[in-house]
Chains A and B, each alone.
Chain A
Amino acid sequence: MAEKKRILLQGNEACAEGALYAGCRFFAGYPITPSTEVAEALSVKLPKAGGKFIQMEDEIASISAIIGASLAGVKSMTATSGPGFSLKQEGIGFACLAEVPCVIVNVMRGGPSTGYPTGPGQADVMQARWGTHGDHPVIALTPAYVQEILFETVRAFNLAEKYRTPVMILYDEIVGHMREPIVLPEPGEIEVVDRVKPTCPPEEYFPYDERYEIAPLAAYGEGYRFHVTGLNHRQDGFPTNDPATIQEGIKRIIRKIENNRDDIMKNEEFHLDDAEICILAYGSTARSGREAVKIAREKGIKVGLLRPLTLWPFPEDTIREVSKRARVVVVPEMNLGQIVYEVERCADCEVVGIHRVDGEPITPAQIIEVMERYK
């Protein structure tokens, strides 16, 4: 086979390519640094692929539009950064409860508020978990390399369609704006999952059919009449105040994710087998962590990297396992301490954070300096 052509792409452009590959044919968004290139690329490419691109009047309208498009049967996505992610929380909660597949990209910059638009941050990771109110399921993916952004965007759509739930892709400004040579996959080369549609006659259809953990989802306009609401609902989609139905509905949307952890979780493990020091890092900070492992190993320090590509649900079991062998888990992140507390909750050993919110990346040297104390 002839060697495939490499192209130099930006992280945000790779996200757009991944969306197209996954079959996304609707994008609604409102431009915001450092995510704008996702929208720019799709505004050019979606119409050519038979899709639709719309710049909405704001972020709430954008997520509302993708929820609507998805209910009409079209794979849909929006992209934003921190300030827009705050506004989208209302729609994210609706999509969780109404079980509407969609993908939300958050290219994280410095916060809070308008913060530092052109600088990187990782301070939205807990917002991704708990930003919308109420108990709800969350899947969030954290790619760190340009090629990986493409693959993980496809995976985000696959998970959204399979589990009828919103999926978030979280990466920071550094990864969003960096360019690396990548190879675009051929059609059929990586798996693309489409949602399960009903096969029953329309009059027998329930959008939240109690016989299923994840019910088939009909597309509006194909003859299936059904009701969708942000209220707790019965299997026919209409509101209910029956306690048992309310509780079972909420438990089920959480259970459908928890019961499928094996399918949803994904980690990179680098030199972890004999690691006495474990670095747990995600996004661009994991690239610093990986570099630190390479340098420290040359100095004879037994260190490894655990890099979650699925950050939510949280890799609790893997951390428990790794922390039985390690003396310390080092958690570098571009915030003042978020994931580090989740690690503390699971780890069987000491946990130490490295935190920075000045818009500069955490360097390998910074991580090595902390590890030297534990060698």
Chain B
Amino acid sequence: MAGRYEIRFSGSGGQGMILAGIIMAEAASIYDTKNVVQSQSYGPESRGGASKAEVIISEDPIDYPKATSIDCMLAMTQEACSKYYKDIKKDGILLVDSEEVKNVPEGEFSVYTFPIIATARDKLGKTIVANIISLGIITELTGIVTRNAMEKAVLSRVPPAFLELNKKALHIGFEKGLELKKG
């Protein structure tokens, strides 16, 4: 990889976007060996409101910590999608939850749609793992971290009682990511 790779996780406060950013940062920097900066922006509310977490990944030291030319963005709500998609770069990736984001923006980037929250609810009975499914999909769509690094990062961040649940969620994400990539 050359230069900076920028990922933005966006959604509503409480959807685990910041945790997704932290896990991606750990996968890339601790379990893979790249440089990362993870930052976030959120409002004063503890639930709701558009929130975003960003991860910059690079072989070189990273100075500017915020995303300006995004390689991959996840949008889990319409509000976040509309507010934050404009920084996606040419040939970048936009992944949206197809049930939440009905008005998908157009641009010179690839759009992937998938019912992420519904899948978490229907297949695992817990919408709370939607962010982990997203991480699986993004791992496959971007190839920016290895499956192995991502799995280690996810499992090191979740409580022991929920290891299996999160592992299943991640693997659903990996499979869907592969399918989406093949088109």
Instruction: Give the B-binding residues of A (Cβ under 8 A).
Output: 6-8, 33, 117-118, 174, 177-181, 284, 287-288, 290-291, 294, 361, 363-365
Contact = CB atoms under 8 A, between A and B. Distances in A.
B68 A118 contact: no
Interface in B26-59: 26, 29-30, 35-44
10 contacts: A7-B30, A33-B44, A174-B66, A178-B39, A179-B37, A179-B39, A287-B63, A287-B65, A291-B63, A364-B64
Contacts of B42: 118
A364 B40 CA distance: 18
B39 A177 contact: yes
B155 to A, nearest CB: 15
A240 to B, nearest CB: 49
Given A117-B44, A365-B68, A178 B63 contact: no
Given A291-B64, A361-B66, A118 B22 contact: no
B25 interface: yes
B22 A290 contact: no
Given A179-B22, A364-B68, 15 more contacts: A6-B30, A7-B30, A8-B30, A8-B36, A118-B41, A177-B39, A177-B40, A179-B25, A180-B29, A180-B36, A181-B30, A181-B35, A181-B36, A287-B63, A291-B64
Given A291-B64, A363-B64, A180 B22 contact: no
B65 A284 contact: yes
Top 9 A-B residue pairs of the complex, sorted by shortest distance between their CB atoms: A291-B64, A181-B29, A179-B38, A290-B63, A291-B63, A178-B39, A287-B63, A8-B26, A364-B64
A117 B46 CA distance: 13
Contacts of B44: 33, 117-118
Interface residues on B, range: 20 to 34
B29 A118 contact: no
B38 A174 contact: no
B43 A288 contact: no
Interface of B: 22, 25-26, 29-30, 35-44, 62-66, 68
Contacts of B62: 180
Contacts of A363: 64, 66, 68
A118 B37 CA distance: 18
Q: Which of A117, A174, A179 is the most central at the interface, judged by chain B CB atoms within 10 Å of its CB? A: A179
Contacts of B30: 6-8, 181
Contacts of A294: 63
A364 B36 CA distance: 18
Nearest to B65: A178
